[in-house]
């Protein structure tokens, strides 16, 4: 079993829909990262969370430490949100990232 699991694996939505992407992890963590990867490889860091909730524009990330679960929400989705969304964690003082496989999101106009 992978330390970081993401669901669903692929997701298709219509423009304007509210989207939720989930991430579960099986180990104690010091922080959880949400990352976005567009075709061609570039990875952009969206959020780093250790508790609670963060918001940036149309993106909201939440984390429940007790349940070892995090969600990334996209409000008013747009085709330019189409990308791979990856959840990754760091453990203790170790700053390397352990990644989930990522979820491919397609937003149709």
For another protein, the binding residues (CB under 8 A) are: 4, 31, 33, 35, 40-45, 48, 86, 88, 90, 94-102
* Structure tokens, 53: 């909730």
> In the complex with another protein, which residue's Cβ is closer, 74 or 89?
89
Q: Which residues pair with 4 in a beta bridge?
A: 25
Q: How far is the CB of 7 from another protein (least distance, A)?
A: 14
The dihedral built from the CA positions of residue 25, 65, 28 and 94, taken in this order, carries a sign that is positive
> In the complex with another protein, which residue's Cβ is closer, 30 or 75?
30
Q: Would you give the DSSP letter of residue 8?
A: -
Half-sphere exposure of 105 (CA within 13 A, CB side): 30
Q: Which residues pair with 66 in a beta bridge?
A: none
> In the complex with another protein, which residue's Cβ is closer, 45 or 75?
45
Q: How far is the CB of 32 from another protein (least distance, A)?
A: 11
Q: How far is the CB of 16 from another protein (least distance, A)?
A: 29
> In the complex with another protein, which residue's Cβ is closer, 8 or 16?
8
Chain centroid to CA 12: how far?
16
Q: How far is the CB of 25 from another protein (least distance, A)?
A: 13
* Structure tokens, 38: 């567009």
């Amino acid at each position: 079993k992978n330390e970081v699991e993401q669901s669903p694996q692929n997701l298709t939505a219509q423009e304007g829909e509210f989207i939720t992407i989930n991430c579960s992890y099986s180990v104690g963590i010091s922080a959880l990262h949400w990352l976005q990867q567009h075709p061609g490889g570039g990875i952009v860091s969206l959020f780093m969370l250790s508790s609670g909730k963060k918001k940036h524009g149309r993106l909201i990330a939440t984390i429940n430490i007790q349940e070892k679960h995090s969600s990334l929400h996209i409000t008013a989705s747009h085709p330019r949100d189409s990308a791979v969304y990856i959840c990754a964690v760091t453990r203790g003082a170790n700053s390397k990232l352990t990644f989930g496989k990522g979820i491919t999101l397609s937003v149709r106009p």
